[in-house]
Structure formats: C-alpha cells, structure tokens
C-alpha cells in the first residue's frame, strides 16, 4: 500500500545519488501531484477495491479471480508490446546493455527472497509468495509512468519493457520449479 508514496520518493532519492542521472533528471519536469494521482489510481484504488470485494463478497471475488488474472496479464502484455513497437530502434540498440542486469537482478531477488523467508521458518506457501512478491516488480506501472512523465524516454522504456518480458518468463519458471520441487518432496514422503 505504500508503493504509491515510496516509488516517487525512491526515484528521486536514487537519481540524486548518481551524478550522471541527477543532471538528466533535472531536465524532466515532473508534477508531483500528477504523479501521486497516477500512483493512487493505478495502485491504491485497485488494491483497496480488491480487498473490499474479497472481504465483503468472497464468492464473487473467487468467481472473478481467474478472469481478472487473465485480464491483468493481457494488459501487461499490451503495455509491453506498445513500448517495444514505439521504441523498436532504441530497444534494439539498448537491450544488450540491460539484458544481463535485469536477468541477474531479478534472479538474485527471487532466490534471495525465497531463502530469506525460509530462514525465518515460514511455511512453503509464504516462502513462494514472498519470492514472487519481491521478485516481480511492476513493469506495467513503470511503463505508464515513463510514457506519462518522461515523454516515453527510450532508455527507460527499454528497461521497463525488458523487465516486463523477463518477469513473465522468470515468474512462470520459478513457479514451475517450486511446484515440481514440492511434487517431488510429496512423492518422496
């Protein structure tokens, strides 16, 4: 729930710590109020609505969970496709620079979050949830912010688009690995 506050603060904090980014960030004009309104409407409102529906209308929430999941995947895929199509040259030119960084960052976060949770002696379901929630960042939100507040900055869009593609791959691969691991443990027991 704090993501709508932490995201803009984090952006400005990290940008200010890197001299090369600090000068570039100053060339962008970002209206903090517009950014906050966007973050609230994209993150907070859907979260609260989802929690309210789940709490008050559990049967309906259970019925619509599958279609909502599919819709959200289609929306994320749509954002990524639009970002790639609108930035084909930049994507081709810059993907090599960010390919391994995104891959290593995401892989290490998935693994570290899973084992950190396991170290705390959480249930297996909690370990998987912590890993997925920590390892899968919101690239769709990133793309929306890039297009709305950074004039579709190509370098930023390349990172967010590749991140979105890689999250789909790594998320499904991680889920398949964990499921197979649990199945093997169940069979061996």
- CATH at residue 78: 1.20.1530.20
The predicted structure's pLDDT at residue 43:
74
Q: Tens of pLDDT along 105-119?
A: 888 888 899 999 999
Query: Looking at the structure, do residues 87 and 157 belong to the same domain, yes or no?
Result: yes
* Residue 107 belongs to some domain of the structure: yes
The predicted structure's pLDDT at residue 57:
92
Query: Looking at the structure, do residues 48 and 78 belong to the same domain, yes or no?
Result: no
pLDDT confidence bin for 182, thresholds 50/70/90: low
Query: Looking at the structure, do residues 50 and 117 belong to the same domain, yes or no?
Result: no
Query: Looking at the structure, do residues 17 and 100 belong to the same domain, yes or no?
Result: no
Phi, psi (5° rounding) for residue 87?
Answer: -130, 40
Q: Cα separation of 180 and 84, whole Å?
A: 33
Query: Looking at the structure, do residues 44 and 95 belong to the same domain, yes or no?
Result: no
Question: Total structural domains in the chain?
Answer: 2
Query: Looking at the structure, do residues 22 and 108 belong to the same domain, yes or no?
Result: no
160 close to 134: Cβ distance less than 8 angstroms: no
For the chain, first and last CA: distance in Å? 39
The predicted structure's pLDDT at residue 72:
79
* Residue 165 belongs to some domain of the structure: yes
* Residue 63 belongs to some domain of the structure: no
CB atoms within 10 A of CB 157: 24
Q: Which residues span the domain enclosing 2?
A: 1-56
* Residue 52 belongs to some domain of the structure: yes
């Amino acid at each position: 729930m704090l993501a709508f506050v932490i995201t803009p603060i984090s952006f400005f904090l990290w940008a200010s710590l890197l001299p090369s980014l600090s000068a570039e960030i100053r060339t962008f004009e970002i209206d903090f109020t517009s950014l906050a309104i966007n973050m609230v409407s994209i993150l907070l409102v859907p979260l609260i609505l989802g929690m309210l529906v789940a709490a008050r209308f559990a049967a309906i929430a259970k019925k619509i969970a599958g279609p909502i999941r599919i819709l959200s995947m289609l929306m994320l895929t749509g954002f990524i496709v639009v970002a790639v199509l609108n930035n084909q040259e930049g994507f081709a030119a810059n993907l090599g620079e960010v390919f391994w960084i995104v891959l290593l960052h995401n892989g290490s976060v998935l693994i570290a979050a899973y084992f950190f949770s396991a170290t705390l002696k959480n249930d297996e379901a909690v370990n998987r949830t912590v890993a997925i929630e920590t390892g899968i960042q919101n690239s769709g939100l990133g793309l929306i912010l890039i297009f709305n507040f950074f004039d579709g900055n190509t370098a930023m869009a390349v990172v967010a688009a590749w991140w979105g593609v890689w999250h789909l791959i790594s998320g499904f691969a991680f889920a398949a690995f964990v499921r197979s691991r649990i199945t093997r443990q169940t069979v061996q027991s």
